[in-house]
C-alpha cells in the first residue's frame, strides 16, 4: 500500500513539474533571454546548490554512522564518550566545507 502511495505522489510531482515548466517556457518565449542565463551564472548557482546539498547529505550519513557506533561503544564503556565527540565534529565539518565552497563559487 505504501508503494502505491509513493508511486502516486511521484507521478503527481512529475506532472506538476511538467505543468510549471510549460508555463515557464511560455513566459520565457514572451521575453528576450536574460543576461543571467546568457553569461553562465545559472551554472554557478547550480554548482553552489550541488556543493551544499551533496556535502550536507554526506555529512548527515557520516554523523548517523558515527553516532550509532559511539552510542554502542559508550554502552559498553562510558569512558569512551570523550573520544567519540571529535569524530562527530569532523563529520559535521563536511557540511561547513560544502557551504564554504558554495560561497566561493558564488563570489568568484
Q: What's the pTM?
A: 0.59
Percent of residues, the chain, with pLDDT higher than 90: 35
| Residue 98 forms part of a structural domain | yes
Look at residue 91 and give its three-state secondary structure. helix
| Residue 28 forms part of a structural domain | no
Which residues span the domain enclosing 79? Answer: 44-108
Mean pLDDT (the chain) is 80
Domain CATH number, residue 67:
1.20.20.10
Question: What pLDDT shows up at residue 108?
Answer: 84
- pLDDT tens digits along 41-62: 788 999 999 999 999 999 999 9
Number of domains in the chain: 1
| Cα distances (Å, whole numbers) of residue 88 to 20, 52, 73 | 41, 19, 14
- pLDDT tens digits along 56-108: 999 999 999 998 998 898 889 888 878 888 888 888 899 999 999 999 999 98
| Residue 105 forms part of a structural domain | yes
Dihedral (Cα; 103, 49, 53, 8), 10-degree rounding: 160
| Residue 6 forms part of a structural domain | no
Amino acid at each position: 500500500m505504501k508503494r502505491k502511495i509513493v508511486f502516486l505522489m511521484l507521478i503527481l510531482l512529475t506532472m506538476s513539474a511538467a505543468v510549471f515548466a510549460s508555463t515557464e517556457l511560455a513566459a520565457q518565449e514572451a521575453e528576450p533571454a536574460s543576461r543571467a542565463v546568457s553569461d553562465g551564472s545559472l551554472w554557478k548557482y547550480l554548482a553552489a546548490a550541488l556543493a551544499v546539498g551533496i556535502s550536507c547529505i554526506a555529512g548527515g550519513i557520516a554523523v548517523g554512522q558515527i553516532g550509532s557506533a559511539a552510542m554502542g561503544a559508550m554502552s559498553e564503556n562510558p569512558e569512551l564518550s570523550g573520544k567519540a565527540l571529535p569524530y562527530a565534529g569532523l563529520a559535521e565539518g563536511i557540511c561547513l566545507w560544502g557551504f564554504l565552497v558554495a560561497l566561493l563559487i558564488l563570489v568568484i
